[in-house]
Each structure stands twice: as C-alpha cells, then as structure tokens.
Amino acid sequence: MPIIAMMKAIERIFRSTSVCFAAFLAVASCGGKADYQDLTGYAQGGIYSVKFNHGGVKVGMIEIKMSVDSILTLVDTTLSGYNKGSQLSRYNAGKPVVPNEMFKEIFTISKKLYDETGGALDMASGPLFDAWGFGFTNDSLPSAETVDSLKRICGMDKLDENMSPLVPGQRPKLNFNAIAQGYSCDKIAEYLHSIGVTDMLVNIGEIYCEGLNPSGKPWKIGVDRPVDGNMELGGQGLVGKWQGDGSGCGVVTSGNYRKFYIKDGRKYSHTIDPRTGCPVDHNLLSATIVAPDATMADAYATYCMVIGLDEAKRFIESLDELEGYLVYDDGGLMSEWASSGFNLVRDSR
C-alpha cells in the first residue's frame, strides 16, 4: 500500500476505547548491541508509542517518524468517523467515494468477520452505536421500537463486495472502531518490517509486539484489572503481565469497565450485540486475546465480549492460533479463566 509522506499533527480520530495497556519495558543496558528508539505522538484519541530496535536499520529516524505519522494520517483520512472529510464519513453521508486500498482492505476484513461470527461482529451497525451513545453521536437510551427499526437498516449482509447496497437506497452506515486501532498497529508493524526492524512494540491503545525488548527478553504487556472506572496504568490497576515468546502477535483487551454510563441505576456498556441491537448484559468483564496480528486480536476480543463467558471459552479453544484470558463476575467475586498457552506473569510483591 503506498504511503503518503507528510508531517502534520494527527487529529483526534477515535474516542478512547474500553481498552488501555501498560507496556512494561526493561531499561537495562544491552552492552551497546542494540539501539532502541521510542517514537511518540498523538493519534486516535491518545498518545501512541512505537518502540523498536534501530540497530542495523539503514533508514534514518526522521524518515521513520514521518512514515509512521503518514500511516496514521492515512488512517485518519480514510477510516475516521470523526473526520468529516474522511472516506468513511463521506460514504456514510451517501456521497460518492472512490475507496482507496486501505478502505477496501478493511471492508473486506469486516465482511469476513461478519460471516465468521454470524453477525456478532458487524461493522455496518453504526446507527445502533450512535443510538446508544457509543458511536459518532451523543444519543442514548433508544426505545425498543427505535432499536428494531435500526436493526432493519444495519448489517454487512446488506452490502456486496463492492460496498454497494443490495437494496437500492438502503446503504448501512459503517463504523470500523472495533478493529481500526488493531489494524493501525499492523500497518505500522508492516512498515517497520519493510525496513528491516525485527524487535518492536507498537502501542496505539491496542498492541502489536515482536522480538525482544531492550533487556534482550520477550516483551511483557500489562493486563488491566477490569474494575469500573479503572484508569490506572500499573500497580493495583493490573491483574498481571502477559509474557510473549518473541514471535509477532497482537495483544488486545476489551472490556466494559471504562466506557459505559449509568441511567436510572442501570449500567449500559459500550459493547453492543448487533443481533439484539442492545448493550450486552452478562458476567464477562474483560477479554484479552493474543492473535497473530493486532487486527484479529482486536476483533476477537470484541467478539468475546459480545458472546459472553461460556461461548468465548469455546471460541478461544477452537482456534490453535489464539490464546485468551477472561475475567468474569462469579457471584460478586472476580474470577478468571485462561487458555493453556496464555502466559500471565503475576507481580511478585
């Protein structure tokens, strides 16, 4: 995919997700054998960080920073629902759009995910998220009649492979927030691979990591404790740290403990089941997924939060390439379940 080289401030793209990671990096010297760099900037509603081993890479840091920022700018101008001039916003407004390769790629991914999950992951359910106040508008508490009417105009199955509505005049609105941050991580990792980087940690709210950290060990990623309103990074805000093995993978946690509202004593989470049109109401508090890339980790973490604890366990165990860690409410107590290959390291304190 061609990358437009440009330097400019990254506008706010996506609101803060329910996911936030603490990436714990060892700072011990590597005896001059490695040259770790840390690029930071603003993107997708927060600060991004790209840590990588620059040793042996012939491309200079200024060019790398420009390329990373240009990728995030391309995401903004293509997939952001908050950028009114983006391809997504123009598409949702019914305006003519000639989709670029990024738009076509993420649309194709979304179609496959819709089919794979039986509609539980539906990037064409934007109006439902808007109606509940978790999309691109500030609405909340729609009536049952409104939900039913919106469900009739949602669904990736109402669009063909060319993004055209199967029924003329009935084009669902798209919202790629469930996978956009993971996808962004993968595009940056793809670029870093292209210039010879093999040790990296890309953090844009979701994470892609590969290789070794500055101490010469696989990366560790903090996993949040799913307590309502938990904004603490580290310390008591974590259940532990996932320890990688050096292979490239996405690590994403989805949960309902940061993005929710309470109305008339009832909690409404940002995780909406497109099949019912309503926020989920079950005992699964958070799902952390490790997958071969961040796009799939992002998608499957959301999927687990939609389908609930028992189905999530079965789903994770059905795919050899996935590992998962689930935290759930067990009669008022916080309990957990992990797949056999999920390496969670507890704090030794």
Reported confidence tier of residue 226, pLDDT bands at 50, 70, 90: confident
Reported confidence tier of residue 20, pLDDT bands at 50, 70, 90: very low
Report the 10 Å Cβ neighbour count for 12: 15
pLDDT value of position 308: 96
Fold entry, domain 79-177: T-fold (1.10.3980)
Please report where in the chains the tokens 């999920």 appear, as a residue: 342
Compute the average pLDDT of residues 93-114.
96
Fold entry, domain 22-58+198-345: T-fold (3.10.520)
| Nearest of 59, 53, 9 to residue 35 by alpha carbon | 53
Instruction: Give yes or no for a contact between 308 and 170, defined as CB atoms under 8 angstroms apart.
Output: no
Q: Which of 65-69, 167-171, 290-294 has the lowest mean pLDDT?
A: 167-171
Tally helices (H) and strands (E) across the chain. 8, 16
**Cα-based distances in Å from 207 to 35, 45, 276, 297, 340:** 21, 15, 30, 9, 21
Please report where in the chains the tokens 């793209």 appear, as a residue: 13
Residue 116 has pLDDT above 50, yes or no: yes
Residue 28 has pLDDT above 90, yes or no: no
Q: pTM value?
A: 0.85
Instruction: Give yes or no for a contact between 293 and 285, defined as CB atoms under 8 angstroms apart.
Output: no
Compute the average pLDDT of residues 209-234.
79
Residue 329 has pLDDT above 70, yes or no: yes
pLDDT digits (tens, 9 = 90+) for 44-90: 878 999 999 999 999 999 999 999 999 999 999 999 998 999 999 99
Report the 10 Å Cβ neighbour count for 318: 8
Q: Where in the chain is the domain with CATH 1.10.3980.10?
A: 79-177
Residue 93 has pLDDT above 60, yes or no: yes
Residue 95 has pLDDT above 70, yes or no: yes
pLDDT value of position 126: 84
SS3 content of the chain, % helix, strand, coil (to 5): 30, 25, 45
Reported confidence tier of residue 334, pLDDT bands at 50, 70, 90: confident
| Nearest of 259, 253, 248 to residue 202 by alpha carbon | 248
Q: What is the token pair recorded at 120? A: 């539980």
Positive or negative, the Cα torsion across 180, 185, 186, 191?
positive
| Nearest of 52, 51, 43 to residue 17 by alpha carbon | 43
Q: Where in the chain is the domain with CATH 3.10.520.10?
A: 22-58+198-345
pLDDT value of position 17: 34
